[in-house]
């Protein structure tokens, strides 16, 4: 068996495709996108199976990003993400909604602003990751609550999902899902108690 270079192929051989890497006129970026999966539940905190699945995927060698928008208490934030199994990046808010009762947040302007800023930091990080193509799976846990609270703009999420570059799936979770996002989904799963 002999190995030959592309230069030795006959130009008349129709089974050979000549690719000239210097000629960029016919090349373009091929976007491979996985599915958009939405998990909906009537109550918060029902997505432990999704988190377990993300750990399993990471252990199998897939690069997974898990972003929990409303969970916190560990002052984590983007700068202090946890890496598990070598492939799972787990990020929680540095100042989260779940640390306080809703009345306390509503009555304290500084606290409310701090939570909003922390949630927006997570969203901006998530947007970059959705557009980067560096992950095999991205989970945006309770992103719909952040939309409902008017911290994240629904149209910004839709636009980002339309322009995403990811080989695997994007999983979104929440309780109240906007209809136009439900229409975008490839799969909608309703979790019941």
The pLDDT value recorded for residue 155 is: 96
| Domain contains 104 | yes
| Domain contains 27 | no
Query: Nearest 5 degrees, angle CA 155-CA 158-CA 160?
Result: 110
| Domain contains 6 | no
Q: What does each of the 193 residues of the chain score in pLDDT, given as a tens digit?
A: 343 333 333 444 444 334 344 444 443 344 456 899 999 887 666 667 788 888 899 999 999 999 999 877 666 888 888 888 889 999 988 877 777 788 888 888 988 898 899 899 999 999 999 999 899 999 999 999 899 989 999 999 999 999 998 778 999 998 889 999 999 999 998 887 6
Residues 122 and 139 sit within 8 Å (Cβ to Cβ): no
- Determine the Cα–Cα distance for residues 106 and 87; give it in Å rounded to an integer: 37
Collapse the DSSP code of 82 into the 3-class scheme (helix H, G, I; strand E, B; otherwise coil) and give the result.
Answer: strand
Q: Which residues have C-beta within 8 Å of that of residue 59, sequence separation ≥ 6? A: 85, 87
| Domain contains 12 | no
Q: Exposure string (b/e) for 171-187, b if CB count within 10 Å is 16 or more? A: bbbbeebbeebeeebee
The candidate with the shortest Cα–Cα distance to 172, out of 100, 42, 69, is 69
- Determine the Cα–Cα distance for residues 5 and 101; give it in Å rounded to an integer: 68
pTM confidence score: 0.77
As for how many domains the chain has, the answer is 1
Residues 44 and 142 sit within 8 Å (Cβ to Cβ): yes
| Domain contains 184 | no
The pLDDT value recorded for residue 162 is: 92
| Domain contains 68 | yes
Dihedral Cα 82, 85, 87, 88, nearest 10 deg: -40
Structure tokens at 39: 């998990």
| Domain contains 192 | no
CATH number where 87 lies: 3.40.50.300
The pLDDT value recorded for residue 17 is: 37
| Domain contains 188 | no
Collapse the DSSP code of 162 into the 3-class scheme (helix H, G, I; strand E, B; otherwise coil) and give the result.
Answer: helix
- Determine the Cα–Cα distance for residues 96 and 3; give it in Å rounded to an integer: 60
Range of 120's domain?
Answer: 33-174
């Amino acid at each position: 068996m002999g190995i030959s270079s592309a230069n030795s192929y006959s130009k008349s051989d129709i089974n050979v495709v000549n690719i000239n890497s210097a000629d960029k006129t016919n090349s373009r970026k091929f976007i491979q996108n996985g599915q958009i999966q939405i998990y909906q539940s009537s109550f918060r905190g029902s997505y432990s199976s999704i988190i377990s699945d993300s750990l399993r995927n990471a252990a199998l060698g897939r690069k997974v990003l898990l972003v929990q928008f409303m969970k916190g208490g560990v002052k984590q934030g983007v700068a202090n993400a946890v890496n598990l199994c070598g492939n799972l990046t787990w990020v929680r808010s540095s100042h989260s909604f779940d640390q306080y009762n809703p009345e306390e947040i509503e009555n304290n302007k500084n606290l409310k602003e701090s939570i909003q800023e922390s949630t927006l930091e997570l969203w901006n990080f998530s947007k970059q990751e959705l557009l980067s193509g560096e992950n095999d799976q991205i989970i945006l846990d309770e992103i719909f609550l952040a939309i409902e609270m008017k911290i994240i703009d629904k149209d910004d999420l839709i636009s980002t999902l339309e322009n995403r570059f990811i080989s695997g799936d994007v999983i979104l979770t929440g309780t109240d899902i906007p209809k136009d996002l439900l229409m975008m989904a490839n799969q909608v799963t309703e979790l019941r108690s």
